[in-house]
Copies of this chain bind each other. A is one copy, B any other.
Amino acid sequence: MATVNSYTGGMPTPDRTSLQQIVGAARDILERDGLAGLTMQSVAEAVGVRAPSLYKRVNGRDELVRLVAEATMVELTARAEQGRTAAEIADALRKFAHEHPAGYHLVFSPETRLSFELVTAASAPILRVATELAGPDDALEAARTLTAWANGFIGMELAGGFNLGGDLELAWNYGLTHLVAAIRAGSGR
């Protein structure tokens, strides 16, 4: 909040940064230099203040990392909501992960504990297409199967775990096709 003080002749002192700018800079640094490179000092430098000033807007590095994860999850959820089929949603997740690999990994890391609300919101799109495919009784299990596969594929891909050659696009489409078919077939309709 802008304020008034006697040293500026009563003029409000404009803030030199903002929480939004800090989180944005932290996300950029995370992608460029990894989690180890995301230091209070590197973020402070990026937004043009000294490290102690960040504590006016953020409780500490852990909270900043959590805010980065939350912002990433919100964006990821918005992308998923655009997809209308299981394939479209899965493709959207994968595209987002390629654009923000470090953020994507952070979001699904065990150290990151996102709020129940954020996780629920993120689950909604997949739960919707899973219900269409498997029917309401198996919707939760089907959604978990789709989520597990997509996240697992993307995680292996980002970690370089798929290094036996072959065509990754082919493997992605193979998995997607077989998974959707199996879930649909299992629904008995």
A residues whose Cβ falls under 8 Å from a Cβ of B: 34, 101-102, 105, 108-113, 116, 119-120, 123, 138, 140-142, 144-145, 147-153, 155-156, 158-164, 166, 170-171, 174-175, 178-179, 181-183, 185-186
Contacts and interface: CB of A to CB of B under 8 A. Distances in A.
Given A110-B159, A145-B171, 7 more contacts: A105-B109, A108-B155, A141-B175, A145-B179, A148-B156, A179-B182, A181-B182
Copies in the complex: 2
A170 B161 CA distance: 28
A174 B159 contact: no
A115 to B, nearest CB: 10
A38 B108 CA distance: 21
Nearest to A35: B111
A153 B153 CA distance: 11
A185 B185 CA distance: 11
Contacts of A171: 140-141, 144-145
Nearest to A186: B178
A147 B152 contact: yes
A156 B152 CA distance: 9
23 contacts: A101-B110, A108-B156, A108-B161, A110-B160, A119-B164, A138-B174, A141-B171, A142-B174, A144-B153, A144-B162, A144-B166, A144-B175, A145-B179, A147-B152, A147-B161, A148-B156, A148-B175, A150-B152, A151-B152, A151-B155, A152-B155, A182-B182, A182-B185
